[in-house]
Chains A and B, each alone.
Chain A
């Protein structure tokens, strides 16, 4: 019943849009004289990946000299939930007519209202030094009040561009500085976000009726009728008018 294949990449685009907000963060380090001596671009990666791909990308020859490089940022989806507050009338349709000049290719695309979903994201910031961590977090927080809105080209074939607010819900901070000397210290900030996104259904297409032909007969079909009249109406398609109501050519032929 639901098996009509379609894939608008709504969620993938949301992930990319979310990630791209944080892909250009850098921190600096200054010496005691106040001179900037290091400027580090912070690596960012989507967390969930195939283990073997991660291994082959990062350390294919098993010769990684270090545990990992810090600071770095990771992010992942942590859930989806339907948002009834943004619910749209489900029978609303968006229609768009292709602007091709070719009458045979001209068609209308139709898509029903999208379904509002909140996409939960977690962004993890891990650093070796406290100052690195607060530099990164301080470059993120001012942009979220508490949301930051991006415009996403959600369904290009329908010219659908929608503003998606990304809301910063909470920030957790974990610093395992206490304890045994042999325990690893980890400074991790976890920022929880909600992207107020939409999920789109399939786009259906239908070609417009450009020609109608009606034949009139003098009797019922089983009485071997003779045709009396043929009435034809044909749309006068103008290539420059993509979704115009055209004009019509009417033709009447009579056999009396």
Chain B
């Protein structure tokens, strides 16, 4: 038997009013947060993951924290891996506002609703959250519509994802926590796609600004002063390079040079790598080649 049509669960105008009231309430009681859509870079089909995910955009939008008395979750705990901040919360945001402000982003995997795996940055306390679950039907059709999303989120376990949102506070998170050595690599002045050439100059022809003083070797048929393109001797075209590599590099392994400021102890203050390295220098004995130990010693 169908429901009684003499009782309406909500007209269109009621639904809009209800939604407007929700948006207004969220804008009064909510927080300004940034919504960061995830960009998949190189998805691993076997493991179903994308370690190289990046976050290039950040959309400011208001959200209400359902855990009004603070974060839920285990909060600060000490584990065998050091300090963990296991904050959890639930954000409520207006469906219409999300569709207006965020849904047009080209990187969204689903444009009809927030995506699990996207991040939320909360400037109030500078915390970065990952959406673990998007609840699309809570509350459930109160006036015959679904005006909000509920985003279950917890603090991000950061694994060197690129953050290039243009929001300084968010991008600083990558700078502070990333242990990617390639961020500290010596790079070539010109990129690998750049092709450039230079004039061949006589040795004492230091350029002083005015011609003739540059010492450029001029072709015999040159008529312009200074010589125009095609009237002077140029070096062979050079292609730029991305990074300064050591001689051992080959097609498969690139051995690069990094800035000495790269220190795991500074980037990850909970790590003991350098302490152990220093201490072990005085404890381990390498005076004898050990055929059952380090293979490089026995070869």
**Residues in chain A within 8 A of chain B (CB atoms):** 13, 16-17, 19-20, 23-24, 26, 29-32, 36-49, 51, 54-55, 57-59, 63-72, 74, 76, 124, 126-132, 143, 147-153, 161, 163, 165, 180-182, 184
Contacts and interface: CB of A to CB of B under 8 A. Distances in A.
Contacts of A74: 79-82
Contact of A131 (B44, B85, B128, B269): B44
B255 to A, nearest CB: 10
10 contacts: A16-B276, A23-B277, A23-B280, A44-B272, A54-B270, A55-B83, A130-B44, A130-B47, A149-B290, A182-B152
A48 B78 CA distance: 9
Interface stretch (B8-16, B62-70, B156-164): B156-164
A66 B157 contact: yes
Given A19-B272, A39-B180, A54-B83, A150 B127 contact: no
Contacts of B52: 29, 31, 37-38
A13 to B, nearest CB: 5
Contacts of A152: 283-285
A144 to B, nearest CB: 11
Given A20-B279, A36-B254, A45-B81, A67 B270 contact: no
B159 A150 contact: no
B41 interface: yes
A25 to B, nearest CB: 9
Given A46-B272, A131-B51, A40 B180 contact: yes
A151 B290 contact: yes
A147 B49 contact: no
B218 to A, nearest CB: 42
Contacts of B288: 151
Given A74-B81, A126-B81, A44 B276 contact: yes
Contact of A44 (B42, B273, B290): B273
Nearest to A60: B269
A26 to B, nearest CB: 7
Nearest to B285: A151
Most chain B Cβ neighbours within 10 Å, of A16, A24, A74, A149: A16
B177 interface: yes
A23 B273 contact: yes
Interface residues of B, number: 66
A163 B126 CA distance: 50
Given A69-B177, A129-B159, A131-B47, A184 B83 contact: no
A128 B100 CA distance: 33
A64 B65 CA distance: 19
A43 B284 contact: no
A32 B42 contact: yes
A56 B195 CA distance: 50
Given A41-B181, A44-B276, A54-B83, A17 B271 contact: no
B169 to A, nearest CB: 9
A66 B270 contact: no
Q: Top 7 closest A-B pairs, CB basis?
A: A20-B280, A43-B271, A181-B133, A47-B80, A67-B155, A151-B285, A128-B159
Nearest to A64: B85
A26 B181 contact: yes
B177 A59 contact: no
B132 interface: yes
Given A23-B276, A43-B270, A129-B49, A124 B81 contact: yes
B145 interface: no
A69 B80 contact: no
A38 B180 contact: yes
Contacts of A31: 41-42, 52
A52 to B, nearest CB: 10
Contact of A29 (B51, B86, B126): B51
B182 interface: yes
A42 B81 CA distance: 12
